């Protein structure tokens, strides 16, 4: 998980998003650490420039999942524009 955390911190200034979709009964709780909705992602004193990771679980219909994913990508894109400019 530390390599993944480091990679996310490195990428947080880039115009990209990471969307993690949990499917099935597996435990995806560790992914919440990467989704910094409530606390800014950090490691060894380095902080993410913005929240680029969104986590969603497939507990609903495909149509609802698609709508949720589109919303997550849109919010992430707008967040990037607000932080980094056009």
Q: What local confidence, expressed as pLDDT, does residue 74 receive?
A: 82
The string of pLDDT tens digits covering residues 14-70 is 888 888 877 777 787 788 788 877 888 999 999 998 888 888 776 655 666 777 777
Q: What local confidence, expressed as pLDDT, does residue 63 receive?
A: 64
Mean pLDDT of 3-11: 91
Q: What is the pTM of this model?
A: 0.65
Contact 54, 72 (CB under 8 A): yes
Q: Which two tokens stand for residue 69?
A: 């994913």
Calpha distance 1→4 (Å, rounded): 5
More confident residue, 8 or 36: 8
Contact 55, 76 (CB under 8 A): no
- CA distances for 11 relative to 5, 15, 35, angstroms: 10, 8, 14
Mean pLDDT of 1-5: 86
């Amino acid at each position: 998980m530390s390599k993944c955390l480091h990679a996310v911190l490195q990428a947080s200034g880039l115009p990209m998003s990471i969307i993690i979709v949990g499917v099935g009964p597996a435990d995806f709780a560790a992914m919440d650490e990467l989704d910094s909705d409530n606390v800014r992602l950090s490691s060894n004193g380095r902080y993410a420039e913005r929240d680029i990771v969104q986590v969603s679980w497939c507990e609903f219909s495909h149509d609802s999942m698609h709508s949720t994913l589109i919303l997550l990508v849109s919010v992430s894109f707008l967040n990037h524009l607000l932080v980094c400019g056009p």
